[in-house]
Structure 1
Amino acid sequence: MRDLFTSACFRSSARIRSLWGDTVRNEQGDVPGWVLITLMTAGLVVIIWALAGPALSQLFEQAISRVSGI
């Protein structure tokens, strides 16, 4: 009975390792997608910063002047 259980454990662990290896190998081709997402996000940050930068700077200066009492 113990040999049957041990062999079943070895077979299931080998199957899990095989499936995990297939999953890891299938994910390697997705790097260009992540690069594109990162570049698009950086572009959006630059555009939003360019549009809202002066307003945020003015808001910050007002907040500092109110706190410091100048």
Structure 2
Amino acid sequence: MKQQLVSDRGDVPGWVLITLMTAGLVVVIWAFAAPALQGVFDQAMDRVVSF
């Protein structure tokens, strides 16, 4: 009788898909948030420099 090896790796294609979707969401959110974050950063730097 042959013993069948059971893989504990899980659903690798599923994890790859989740990783790619998460990376895509980060890119989309960053595209919308970047101008606002740049404005906040510029204001903070202006206040520090003028202090």
TM range (shorter): 0.7 to 0.9
User: Counterpart amino acid of 1:62?
Assistant: Q
Runs of 4+ in 1 over 4 A off after TM superposition: none
Unaligned runs of 5+ in 2: none
Larger Rg: 1
Matched, 1:37 2:18: yes
1:29 to partner: Cα distance: 4.7
Q: Of Structure 1 and Structure 2, which has the larger fraction of its residues in helix?
A: 1
1:50 aligns with one of 31, 40, 48:
31
RMSD over equivalenced CA pairs, Å: 1.9
User: Counterpart amino acid of 2:15?
Assistant: W
Provide TM-score, normalisation by structure 2.
0.75
1:39 to partner: Cα distance: 0.4
Unaligned runs of 5+ in 1: 1-20
1:60 aligns with one of 9, 21, 41:
41
